[in-house]
Structure 1
Amino acid sequence: MDNITQILKDAQDPDNNIRLVAECKLKQLQERNRPNFLLSLSAELSSDASPPECRCLAGIMLKNSVEGKYSEDNSILIEQWNNLDQCIKSQIKESLLITLGSLAPQARHASSQIIGRLAYIEIPSQGWQDLIGRLLHNMAPQGASPATLKQATLEALEHVFEEKTLRFEKDTINGVLDAVIRAMNHQAEKSFQVRVAAVKALQNVHKFADFASDDDCRNRIMTAISDAAKSDEAVEVKHAAFGCLTAIASKYYMELEPYMETTLSLTTEALGLEGGVDETAVLECIEFWSTICRKVIKLREKRKRFPRVILTADCHFLENPLCSLVPLLLQTLSLHQERDVDELNIFMSAMTCLGLVARTIGDAVVPFARQFIEGNIKVADWRSRKTAISVLGVILEGPSIEKLAPVVGLLMDKMEDPHMEIRGTATCTLGQVFELLHSPALDKRFFTNEDFPRIMAALSKRGKDVPEVSKEVCEAIYFLARGYDVPISSEVDHSKKKISSELSPFLSGVIDAILSASELDKKTPFGLPASASAYGALIEIVRVSNIWDFEAVIAIMDLMPRIMRRLNTALDAKAISSDDKTNRQNLQALLCDVLHAIIEKLGNSLHADKLVLWLVPSVQSFWITCQYFCSITA
C-alpha cells in the first residue's frame, strides 16, 4: 500500500491542492481494499515513529469506520466490520491495545474510544472475549504499569461500560470495580490523572454492579466517591466525583439514605461556605441535589396519574437532608448575586435547585425562605433585595397558600421600590402568584377582595412605569385575568361564571395601565414587541369581564374608540424598512384581535340592541380594516 504516513500528512496540508489530492488518495485506498486500509490505519495509530498529527488523523478515520451509532450508517458499519477477515480484525484490536501504552496522548485517547466502540460490536456476538482481562492486566497492582497506560486503560473501560446493552459476568464486574476503586485511592495511586480517569470510569461501571441490592458493593462505591470528592490536591478529581454522585442519584436515589449526612458535609465544603469556591465543583454539587428532587417530583406525578398502581415507596427520608440544604442554598445565593458570569452560573443553578427543593418538601421550605426574604428585602444593596424577591418567586410551587400568604404580602411594598429592577422583579413575581396560585373561577384563591384595591392600584400605577416594568405589569394582568376564565367544559356552578365581577370596579384603571404600557417602548418601530404582551393582556381582560356589570360595560365601550384610533394611526403610519412593515402589520393584527374581542363580548350581551347605533361607525371602520388586510395578504 502507498506510504500512508505521507498521505495522512498531506491530507492536513494548508495548501488546498496538496490536501485535496491526499484526500482523494485516501478515498481510493479505502474503496480499493477496505480491510488493508483499516489495518494500515491501526498500524499508523500504534506507531510511535509516526508524527502525532498523522496518528491523530488515523485514529479519527479508524473510529469513523466503526462509529455510527448516531447515524443511519450504524448497521452498515457494523456489518462491514463483522465481514472483515478474522486475522485482520485481530491485528487491528492488538494494535489498539498496544496504543494504550503510547506516549502520545491523542493516540491513547483515540484508541480508548475505538476499543469502546468495538466492544459494543464484538462482545454481544461472543467476540473479543479477552478484552476485559487484557485491560485489567494493565491495572494489576503487582505490575509496574506506567501512569499513562493506566489512564488510557481506565478511559477505555469508561467507553466500554458506556454501552448499557452489554452483559458481563458478575465476577468480571467485581474485577473491574476492584481495579477502578483501587485506582481512585490517592494513597495507592499518586497520579491525579489516573484518579480522574478512574472516577469517570466508575460513573459508567457502577450501572453494571449490584448497587441496589448489594450493601457491601454500594458502600465501597460510595466510600470511594466520598474520598475522591474530598480531594484537595486535584480539583479535577473532585469535579469527577460530584459528577459520579449525580449519575448515581439519577438511578439509585432511593438507596442513598445512609449517605445523606456525608453528602451534606461534602456539599457545605463544595459550596465554599467553609473556604474557597470552585465553580465546577459547586455546579456539580448543586446538580446532584437537583437530580434527586427531579426524581422525587417525577415519582409523585406518576402516583397522581396512576393512583391504583403500586409504586416504589416515597422518599420521605429526603425531607430532613433537604431542609438542611435550604440554608446552604440561600447562603450561596447571597455569596453569588449576579456580579459576573461565573457567579451568575452558580446563582442560577442554586435558584433552580431551591425551586425543585420547594416542590419536593413543600411547606417545610417556607420558614427558611421567609427568614431570608425578611432579612434581605429591605437592605440598602439592591442586589440583595432582588435576590430576596427572586427567592420568593422560585418557591411558589410546592408550599400551601396558607404558608406563603404572609411572605407574598412583602411584594406590594417592593412595587414602589426606587430601583427599577426591584419594581420589575416584584411585578414579575406577582404575575407568577396570579399564574400559579390565584384562580378564583376554580375556587383557588390567594388574594381576598380586601387585598384587591391595593393590588389593582399598584398594577395601574406600574403600568405607566418604564417599559421594563410595564411589560411585567401586562404579564401579571394577563395571568390575573386567566384566573377568572371558566373552561367551557367545566361543571362549575353557574354563579362562578359571574365571579369576574370582582374585576369590574378596576377595569377602567387596568385598561388605562395596559394602554399606557403599550405606548412606552419607543425603541422599536410601532411599539413592538412590548405591544404584544399589552394587547394580549387587554384581550384576556375583555374576554373574562362580566358584561352584565355596568362598570364593565362602560369600560369596554370606552375602549372601542381608543383602539379604533390606534388602528387608524397604524394604518396611516409610514414604514420604511422591511422590519417596520412587519411590525406594522403585526400591530394592526393585534389591534384587530382586540376589536374582535370587544365586539364579541358586547354582541353577546343584553345590551347589544342598545349599542347598535353607537357601534355602527366602529363596526364599519372595522370592516374597512378587514378588507384592507385581505388586500395586503392576497
Structure 2
Amino acid sequence: MSAPDLTSTLLSCQSPDPAIRQAAESALASAEASNLPDFILALATELSTEGKDVNARQLAGLHFKNLLVAKDDALQTEKHERWKALPAPQRSVIKSTVLSAIRSPVQTARHTAAQACAEIATIELPYKEWPEFLTVLMENVTSTAADDGVKISSLECLGFTCERIAMCDSPEIAPDVTDLMLTTIVDGIRPDRPDSIRLAAAQALRNSLAFTRKNMENENERNMIMKTICEATQCSDDKVRAAAYECIVQIAFQYYDKLQAYMQTLFQLTFGTIRNDVENVALQAIEFWSTVCEEEMELNELANECAEMGREVPPESVCVGYVKAALEHLCPLLTETLMKQDEALDVDDDVWNLSMSGSMCLQLVAATVLDDVVPVIMPFVQGNISSENWRNREAATMAFSCILDGPSDAALAQYVTQAMPVLLNALSDSNDLVKDTTAWTIGKICDLHVRAIPGDTFPTLVNGLASKLLTETPRVSSQACFGIHNLAAAFKNDDGAEKTGTNMLSSYMPSLLQTLLQVVDREDATESNLRIAAFEAISVLIQNSAPDVLNVLMQLLPAINDRLGQSFNMPCLTNEDKEQKEGIQGLLCGLIQVIAIKTTKEAIAPFCDSIMTNFLQVLQTKNATCHEEALSATSAIATTLEGDFLKYMSALQPYLMAGLRNFEAYQVCTCAVGLVGDISRSIENNMQPFCDEIMSALIEALQNASLHRSVKPPVLSCFGDIALAIGAAYEPYLQLSLMMLLQAAQTRAPDDDEELIDYVNILREGILEGYTGIVQGLKDGNKQELLMPYIEAIMGFLELLASDRRNDYDNEVLSKTVGLIGDIASSLGPQIKPLINKPFVIQLLKEGNESGDQNIMGTSQWAMGVVSQIMV
C-alpha cells in the first residue's frame, strides 16, 4: 500500500459512511495479512512523517499499537511472538522510525508515538533488547536542546512502558535498565523543571515503582527517590502534588518495610495536605493512610498465623503500627473530612469526595486498631450526633457507622445501647442525608451488633424502618430495606423459633411483606437499587420466618406467582425495559424458591402447576440470570414435592438439557447439574427414562476443556446422585463415569497455590460423593460385584488422600473419605480384605476418630466397625 493510499485509507476508517469505513478496515486487514513487515513500517513512516495529516498520523500510530496489544492473554502472546518473528534489521528500522516521532513538533504525533514505542519496549526491554530506546529518551529529557513537549512525551513513554510491562507476564527487568529509567524520570521531576514536565515525570515514577526494588533497597538511592517525591508534594501545581502523593501511596503499598525513616515527614506532609489542600490532592493524602491500614491489616493477619504455627514473623513482614501511633491525631483529622459532605443526597456514583474518602479511611483504621479506635472516636460522636448543624449530625452518625466493624462487641455494646434511641429518632430528621446515613448505620448495627440492641426498642426499630419504605427518597428507602434485611438475618438458626414456633418478627411479617411489595411497585424503584433491596429484604424475612407465619407465606405465594405470570406481558421498548423485566422475573423466581423451602408438600402442591408453567416460560427467555434463578427455584419445588414432581419431567427435560449444555454461562450449567441431583433424590428410580440424555450431557461437560472448572465437582457428585436414585439401572453408565472419576482423581495442587488447593479439595469432595453414591446405588440394586474391576483404583485414590495431608486439609474430604471406606467394606465384604487391610486405611479411620468433629468421629467409628467385621 503506497503512502498516499495509506493516508486515505486511515482517514476513511473514520468515515460516517459504514460502507466506506468497512472497505477501509478491510483494506488495512488485507495489507497486514499480505506483508506484515512492510505494513508495520508503512504505519511507522506515516506516524513519523512531518507535514502529513495529523489525524492520519494519529490513526497510524494507534493502529501500530493495536497490532502489538490485546486484552486477551493468549492473543497478546500471539501478537508479541509475531513481532519477535520479524527479521531483526526490519525491526530495527521500524523502531528507529517510531522513536523519532517522539521528537515531532506536533503534540498529537508525539503522544501517539509514545504509546506505540511503549508497546515495542514492553516486548523488548525485559529481554535487554532495543538499548537505543532508553538512551534516546534520556537524551530527550536531559538535553537543553529538546523542547518541553518532547521531554513530556518522552516521560509519558517511560510511564506507559512501565505500566504495560507491569501488566504483562514478562521476565524481570535488568537492574541497569531500571537504573537508567529511574535516572531519566527523576531528572524530569526536579524542582527546577516546568510543572508540565514534573507532572509527566511524577506519573512515570508512579508506574516505575513496580521495578525499583533494588533501588529502594539501597539507602542512598531510596533517600534520593523519597526526597524527590516529597519535594514534588510542595509544587505550586495541584496536579503535580496529587501525582506525587500517588507515588507515596504506591510506595506504602509496595515498600511498607522501608517507610520508617520517612514516616515523621510523611505524617506532617499528609496531615497538612488533608487539612488545607485542594480536594484532588487531599484525597491522595488520605489514600496514603488507607493504604497503610490495608498493609498493617495484612501484616497483623500474618502475625496471627505465625503465632498459631509457632513461627517467627519474617523481619520484612513486621507490622510497625504506624496507624496506632498516629491514632490520636489521625482520627480527629478524618472526622473533619466527614463534615465536608456534598449537600445533594443523589451524588453520582462515580464521584469520590473528601467525606467519602475520610469515612472509608476511618473504617480501615477501625479494622486495623480494633478496640483502640473506640475511645478516640466516641467523644466526637457523642458531642455531635444531636448537633443543630446537620453536617455535624451526619458526620457523627457516619463516624459511628465506620467503627462498627472491627472493634469487639464488648467495646461497643454500651455505645450501641445508648445510640439506638437517638438513631431511631434521627430516622425522622429534617435532612435527607442524615436520614440516609442513620438508616445505613442502623442496618450495620443489625448486622454486626444486634445483641446490643435493647429489647424494648425492637417495636420502634421495626416500625421506624418500615415507615421509611414508601415515603422517603429511593436512597433512604433502600437503606431502610438494608436495615430490615439485616434485622431479619439476625434470626437465622434461631433455636427459640424451633421450640416455640414463633419469634419477635412474626407479628410484623404480614405488614412488612405487604409494604415491601409496595416498594417493588414504586415508580422510582429502579433508583438507588431500591427494587433489588426490597426483594432481598423479603427473601431474608421469608428464610428466617418462624413456623407460625406459614399461612402468611402461603397467602403470599400466589401473589408472587401471579406477578411472575404478569411479568411476561411487560412492554420491552428499550434494552433498559428488557433488563428490568428480566431482573424482576429472576427476583420473583428467587422468592418462590425461598417460600418452597419453608413450606410443606401438602401446602404448596395446589400451586405447583401454575408455578412450573411460569418457570418453563422463564426458561424460554435468553437471559442467563433468569435461567439460574428458575432452575434453582425448580430444585426447591422438586425437593418439596418429592415423587410428585415426576409429572413435570417431560415438559422440563428440554430446558434441563439446554441448561446442562450451556457451557458458556457456566453458572446456569451448575444450577442445572444441581437440579439433576435434587430431582434424582425426589423421584428416585423414576429418573431412569431421562438418564441417557442427562448422562450424555454430564460427560460432555467433563470433556469440555473450556468449561469453567467450578462446574466439574458438582458433575462428578451428580453421578452418585443418579446412581443412588436408579440403583441397578446405573450399569450402562458405570464404566464411563468411573473412568471420569478416576481421571479427576489424578488432579493435584502445588503446595504454594492456596486457590488451587481449595479447588482440589472441592473436586475431591465431588469425587468422593460420586463414588459413594455409585457404591450405595449398586449395593441397593444388588449389583455391587460390578465394582470389583475398579475397586483397586478407587482404593488407590483413598491412599493418595492419606498421603496428601496438609495443614489446611478439608475436614469435608476426611469425612467423605472415611464414609466411603465404610460403604466399600459394607458393600463388598470379605472379598476386598487384601485391599482394605492396608495401613493407610487404618490411618484415615484413626484421623477421623481423632478429628474432634462429632460427625466425622461417628462416621469413623461406624466404618471401623464394618472394616473390623471384614478382618474377622
Q: Say whether residues 1:479 and 2:470 are aligned partners.
A: no
Shift of 1:394: 1.8
Shift of 1:57: 1.1
CA distance in 1, matches of 2:354, 2:106: 36
Q: Say whether residues 1:414 and 2:393 are aligned partners.
A: no
Q: 2:232 aligns with which of 210, 215, 228?
A: 228
Shift of 1:542: 2.7
CA distance in 2, matches of 1:124, 1:320: 41
More helix by proportion, 1 or 2? Answer: 2
Mapping of 1:76-155 within 5 angstroms? 76-140=78-142, 143-155=144-156
Q: Percent identity?
A: 27
Q: 2:262 aligns with which of 259, 262, 280?
A: 259
Shift of 1:66: 2.2
Deviations 1:12-49 (A, max 9, x none): 44455554444444333333322222212212211112
Shift of 1:221: 1.0
CA distance in 2, matches of 1:19, 1:585: 41
Q: Say whether residues 1:351 and 2:352 are aligned partners.
A: no
Task: Tell me if the contact between 2:152 and 2:196 (Cα under 8 Å) persists in the aligned partners.
Answer: yes
Cα gap change, 1:5 to 1:354, in 2 (>3 Å): same
Deviations 1:437-469 (A, max 9, x none): 34xxxxxx534xxx2122344324543454357
Q: Say whether residues 1:446 and 2:452 are aligned partners.
A: yes
Three-state SS of the structure 2 residue aligned to 1:48 is coil
Cα gap change, 1:82 to 1:415, in 2 (>3 Å): same
TM-score under structure 1 length normalisation: 0.80
Amino acid at match of 1:283: L
Shift of 1:171: 4.4
CA distance in 1, matches of 2:501, 2:446: 14
| Alignment correspondent of 2:535 | 532
Cα gap change, 1:305 to 1:115, in 2 (>3 Å): same
Q: 2:448 aligns with which of 423, 433, 436?
A: 436
Amino acid at match of 1:289: W
- 5+ residue gaps, structure 2: 572-580, 617-872
Amino acid at match of 2:291: T
Shift of 1:241: 0.9
Task: Tell me if the contact between 1:59 and 1:110 (Cα under 8 Å) persists in the aligned partners.
Answer: yes
Q: 1:216 aligns with which of 188, 195, 220?
A: 220
Task: Tell me if the contact between 1:360 and 1:398 (Cα under 8 Å) persists in the aligned partners.
Answer: yes
Shift of 1:414: 2.5
Mapping of 1:234-633 within 5 angstroms? 234-271=237-274, 273-274=275-276, 277=278, 279-304=279-304, 307-308=308-309, 310-311=312-313, 312-339=317-344, 345-408=353-416, 409-417=418-426, 418-419=428-429, 421=432, 422-423=434-435, 425-438=437-450, 445-447=451-453, 451-467=454-470, 475-476=482-483, 478-480=485-487, 482-483=489-490, 485-486=492-493, 497-498=495-496, 506-511=504-509, 514-515=512-513, 517-518=515-516, 521=519, 523-524=521-522, 532-543=535-546, 556-557=547-548, 559-567=549-557, 575=566, 578-579=569-570, 590=591, 593-594=594-595, 597=598, 622-633=604-615
Cα gap change, 1:84 to 1:572, in 2 (>3 Å): closer
Amino acid at match of 2:424: M
| Alignment correspondent of 1:548 | none
Deviates more, 1:158-167 or 1:103-112: 158-167
Task: Tell me if the contact between 1:462 and 1:513 (Cα under 8 Å) persists in the aligned partners.
Answer: no
CA distance in 2, matches of 1:569, 1:169: 68
Task: Tell me if the contact between 2:491 and 2:544 (Cα under 8 Å) persists in the aligned partners.
Answer: no
Cα RMSD, aligned residues only:
3.6
CA distance in 2, matches of 1:588, 1:178: 61
TM-score under structure 2 length normalisation: 0.59
Deviations 1:247-301 (A, max 9, x none): 2122112221232232233323433x33x52x32233222222222222223333
Cα gap change, 1:216 to 1:529, in 2 (>3 Å): closer
How many residue pairs match? The answer is 577
Task: Tell me if the contact between 1:226 and 1:241 (Cα under 8 Å) persists in the aligned partners.
Answer: yes
Amino acid at match of 1:330: T
- 5+ residue gaps, structure 1: 439-444, 487-495, 544-555, 601-618
Cα gap change, 1:166 to 1:382, in 2 (>3 Å): same
Deviations 1:85-127 (A, max 9, x none): 3222111111122111111122212222222222232234443
| Alignment correspondent of 1:611 | none
| Alignment correspondent of 2:35 | 33
Task: Tell me if the contact between 2:245 and 2:281 (Cα under 8 Å) persists in the aligned partners.
Answer: yes
Cα gap change, 1:166 to 1:151, in 2 (>3 Å): farther
Shift of 1:410: 1.6
CA distance in 1, matches of 2:366, 2:211: 33
Cα gap change, 1:318 to 1:391, in 2 (>3 Å): closer
Deviations 1:374-416 (A, max 9, x none): 2321123445423322221121112232332343222322212
Amino acid at match of 1:292: V
CA distance in 2, matches of 1:181, 1:106: 25
Greater RCO structure (CA 8 Å; 6+ sep): 1
Task: Tell me if the contact between 2:338 and 2:359 (Cα under 8 Å) persists in the aligned partners.
Answer: yes
CA distance in 1, matches of 2:92, 2:248: 37
Amino acid at match of 1:411: M
CA distance in 2, matches of 1:390, 1:381: 14
Amino acid at match of 1:5: T
Task: Tell me if the contact between 1:46 and 1:99 (Cα under 8 Å) persists in the aligned partners.
Answer: yes
CA distance in 2, matches of 1:427, 1:10: 56
CA distance in 2, matches of 1:98, 1:588: 62
Deviates more, 1:67-76 or 1:37-46: 67-76
| Alignment correspondent of 1:202 | 205
